[in-house]
Chains A and B, each alone.
Chain A
Amino acid sequence: MTDERLRMSGIVKRFPGTVALDGVELTVRAGEVHCLLGENGAGKSTLMKILAGSYRPDEGTILLDGEPFSPSTPHAGLAAGIAVIYQELDLLPDLTVAQNLLLGRSPRFGPFVRRARRAGLARQALDRVGARFPVTTRVRDLPIAAQQLTAIAKALTADARVIVMDEPSATLGESELEAVFGVIRSLTEEGRSVIFISHRLDEVKAIGDRATVLRDGRTAGVYDVASTTPDEIVAAMIGEAKELVRPAGRPAPEGEPLLTVERVHVPGLIDVRDIDVRPGEVVGLAGLGGAGRTTLLRALFGDLKAHVTARLDGRPFRAGSPAAAVRAGLALVPESRKEQGLMLGLSVGRNAAIAALDRPPWLLPGRLGRRLAAPALAGLGVRSVGQSQLVGQLSGGNQQKVVLAKWITRGGIKVLLLDEPTRGLDVGAKADLYRQVRDLAGQGVAVLLASSELNELTANADRIQVLYEGRNIARFDPRVSPESAIAHAVITGATP
């Protein structure tokens, strides 16, 4: 087991404005399950994309079975025996299992597909992962675990030496996960290496041989899983340095809550209870991907079917649609500004004014909108070539400000819902955006802020609610709770 399968050393990857990887080391032995751990943004995905050939590293070397290896395309990575199973399975849902497994490589007789032979090859591939379902099933009709097995079987048809699994557990139930683990064990027995990315430490304990922890683009430690406690790994993931960052002393807002959420229940997704937000208060929502932060915000905004028991301004409140939520004084800055926040083909001014036109005189929306939107755009410091520039041509930070300007222009906001508002923004733009959010809070707006970046929450929220698997399991005051305690709750789901 000392056989070295893969060695990535000194890997550096820079993106404009940020260093994603800053000298990462990763060594994987033949026949081991190597877990890759780290908080959101630690660099796990970037590292795996470099391994797969989707990105080229700026510095560093990769050795695969002792040979230098520098894949320039995902195809080259696959040919060399690197198979990556992404979280969003890249299967074609309307084709059968057999069609998917041999996509582009079906056995042929002249122009005709040899169906029987294809089915036979597919059957062999499924048998290897212990899957029992027929190869003629359409992928769409399979349960998620079976789809996952299909993806694994597909990865194996390429005779992979290293198999990367990106959070396979995120979509799997308990028993399904056990089936996938069984496959992983039999793969390693054949001498293949598995790199297993997961947020959940209990899974790492159950399946992993060794673990590499990434933090802020560097390797924070390599651990032998059997002889390490979860607390040691969590400590490595969180780090020590961030402890010193504390928000400037703000008086905690007092008074009656503006928004009181008794319960938000979306069957099968979330069941959140007792969150309230006072005027001028920023309540942070922390949690892993899939913990239910986005679902909670969408439910409050009337964007999905949910049982909501809440009070706004002391009156019972339940929005049946986003339009109703907006009328009631809610505003949402959605997760994806390009797909959900903005009309990229329209100008800055038209985007900023669009929510403010639902009142008399109903005329001259262009001129009226420009006049209405000007103060908000100027106040937020949106850098554009005038209001008529297309919003799609702006930088990410300025685009996000236009989304905010849309609500400020509308006016009368009581509750502002922010979903990952700083995703993809550089440091300066983040600080700028949070300053604007605090300004709004200062004017009496109640803010619910969902973010994967814990340090942003501790720096900007007055209180933090931790969501874990659809429930809010703990609440913290970032002024007194150490960030490590919050991170511990976020990652493990354990209440302090």
Chain B
Amino acid sequence: MTTSIGSSVAASAEQAGGARPRRGADLIVKSNLLLVFLALCVVATLLAPQFLTGRNIANLLQQSSLTGIVAIGMTMVVLTAGIDLSVGSVAAFGGMTVAILMAAGVPVLPAILLSVLAGAVFGAIMGGLSAYLALPAFMTTLAGLTAIRGLTYLLTDGKPAEAAGAESFQLLGGGFIGYVPIVGIIFVVITILAAVVLRGTTFGEYVYAVGSNKEAARLSGLPVRGVITTVFAVSGALAALAGVLLTSRLTVGQPTAFNGLELDAIAAVVLGGTNLFGGRGGVFGTFVAVLLLSVLRNLCNLLGLGSFFQMVVTGLILLVALVLNMLIERRGARA
């Protein structure tokens, strides 16, 4: 007994040194992204003097926050080794329902809550189907992408819905505190909340466990299906929230909004270093990646490069980041 305690004491003394290679690799991967981001900001400042103006930064934050909020939910789904293709449609649905509810005289707060709840329900249905019937989430959410978009069009027969509403509602999506857009604050708060949930609660620990090895998690008595259903519900709720915020800014619900949002969100998640096969990653990487992608877009705009060019650059950046991450991981594993 004494020997085993002795060895474990010795083991924890070694801990700092031995764990370093792996942590080092993780740190490089993470700060790698941050360094690229900062370098890009410097380049942007040099190339386009108007980049570092308060108005531009505020604009940039406002544009990236909605994608960012969705990407945070997507990160949680991907951490369980799932994927949610329906976020664009759910966001559009959320944006439409909030407009319609308010036009029907529902007060602001209940209208928002109901819309977000609808997103959560959609997510829970798709995630639950995937978890309880062992269907691939790729398929259930692909079905959701189509069906929910169709439902969104059906709400108004494809026409935009006027959000006849209170000024407070418009402030939510379009308002600023100083130079800081309110949606940016919401994005930051949600990122922090998600990080706290993932790293600081039992539920978060279960998310990583399920993503790392679903079978082992199940045989450890974890509520695997519940965890999967929940992360999809969260993803749906956050997507709907993004839709609500867009409607608030535009003062009108657009059924065609957020086409292709799922790809932007997944790109940010992957660029942020979260493993598509689950179990590894986190929301801070996603946060930085969202900003990086939008700075890139912003820079292209300021330089007067067209959106076609932007798409090519974004794709290439994504590829380079993936290859870099892979190389660093391999070296980390070998060390």
Contact = CB atoms under 8 A, between A and B. Distances in A.
Interface in B176-224: 199-206, 208-209, 212-213, 215-223
Nearest to B14: A385
Nearest to A343: B212
B7 A345 contact: no
A354 B222 contact: yes
B222 A377 contact: no
B19 A362 contact: no
Interface residues of A, number: 45
B222 to A, nearest CB: 7
Query: What 3 pairs across the A-B complex have the smallest Cβ distances?
Result: A386-B15, A326-B221, A385-B18
Contacts of B212: 343-346
Given A383-B7, A385-B14, A386-B14, A334 B219 contact: yes
B53 interface: no
Contacts of B11: 383-386
Interface stretch (A46-54, A72-80, A364-372, A442-450): A364-372
B5 interface: yes
A383 B12 CA distance: 10
A191 interface: no
Given A381-B8, A386-B11, A343 B217 contact: yes
9 contacts: A322-B221, A323-B222, A343-B213, A355-B221, A358-B202, A358-B221, A379-B1, A381-B4, A382-B8
Interface of A: 301, 303, 322-323, 325-327, 332, 334, 339-346, 350, 353-355, 357-358, 362-366, 369, 374, 377-390, 406
Contacts of B199: 366
A382 B215 CA distance: 23
B205 A365 contact: yes
A355 B208 contact: no
A378 B4 contact: yes
Interface in B242-291: 279-280
Contacts of A342: 213, 216
Contacts of B30: none
A343 B202 contact: no
Nearest to A336: B215
A364 to B, nearest CB: 6
A369 B14 contact: no
Interface in B1-41: 1, 3-5, 7-8, 11-12, 14-19, 22-23
Contact of B219 (A303, A381, A385): A303
A365 B200 contact: yes
Contacts of A379: 1, 4
Contacts of A323: 218, 221-223
A363 B201 contact: yes
Contact of B216 (A343, A381, A383, A387): A343
A165 B205 CA distance: 46
Contacts of A386: 11-12, 14-16, 18-19
Contacts of B279: 343, 345-346
B5 A378 contact: yes
Interface of B: 1, 3-5, 7-8, 11-12, 14-19, 22-23, 199-206, 208-209, 212-213, 215-223, 279-280
Contacts of B209: 343, 346, 350, 354
Contacts of A363: 200-202
Contact of B19 (A340, A374, A385): A385
Contact of A357 (B16, B202, B280): B202
B220 A406 contact: yes
A362 B215 CA distance: 22
Contacts of B19: 385-386, 388-389
Contacts of A345: 212-213, 279-280
A346 B208 contact: yes
Nearest to B213: A343
Contacts of A350: 205, 208-209
Contacts of A322: 218-221
A328 to B, nearest CB: 10
Given A358-B221, A390-B22, A365 B201 contact: yes
A353 B222 CA distance: 12
Determine which residue in B7, B15, B205, B216 has the highest number of CB atoms from chain A within 10 A of its CB, and name it: B216
Central interface residue in B200, B212, B221, by most chain A CB within 10 Å: B221
B145 to A, nearest CB: 28
Given A339-B216, A355-B221, A383-B11, 18 more contacts: A322-B220, A323-B223, A327-B221, A339-B213, A340-B219, A345-B212, A346-B209, A350-B205, A354-B206, A355-B222, A357-B202, A362-B201, A364-B200, A366-B205, A374-B8, A378-B5, A385-B14, A389-B19
Contacts of B18: 385-386, 389
Q: Most chain-A CB neighbours within 10 Å: which of B213, B222, B280?
A: B213
A383 B6 CA distance: 11
A85 B201 CA distance: 50
Nearest to B16: A386
A369 B205 contact: yes
Contact of A362 (B203, B217, B221): B203
Contacts of B14: 385-386
Contacts of B1: 379
Contacts of B17: 385
B7 A332 contact: no
Contacts of A357: 202, 205-206
Contacts of A384: 11
A220 to B, nearest CB: 38
Nearest to B218: A322
Nearest to A377: B8
A363 to B, nearest CB: 6
Given A378-B4, A381-B4, A389-B19, A362 B219 contact: no
A323 B209 CA distance: 15
A326 to B, nearest CB: 3
Contacts of A389: 18-19
Nearest to A298: B219
Nearest to B19: A388
Given A323-B221, A323-B223, A339 B215 contact: yes
Contacts of B202: 357-358, 362-363, 365
A414 to B, nearest CB: 14
A341 B219 contact: yes
A238 B80 CA distance: 48
Contacts of A327: 221
B319 to A, nearest CB: 24
Given A354-B209, A365-B205, A383-B7, A388 B15 contact: yes
Contacts of B22: 390
A341 B199 CA distance: 23
Contacts of B23: 388
Contacts of A340: 215-216, 219
A355 B4 contact: no
A344 B5 CA distance: 25
Contacts of A353: 205
A242 to B, nearest CB: 30
B205 A355 contact: no
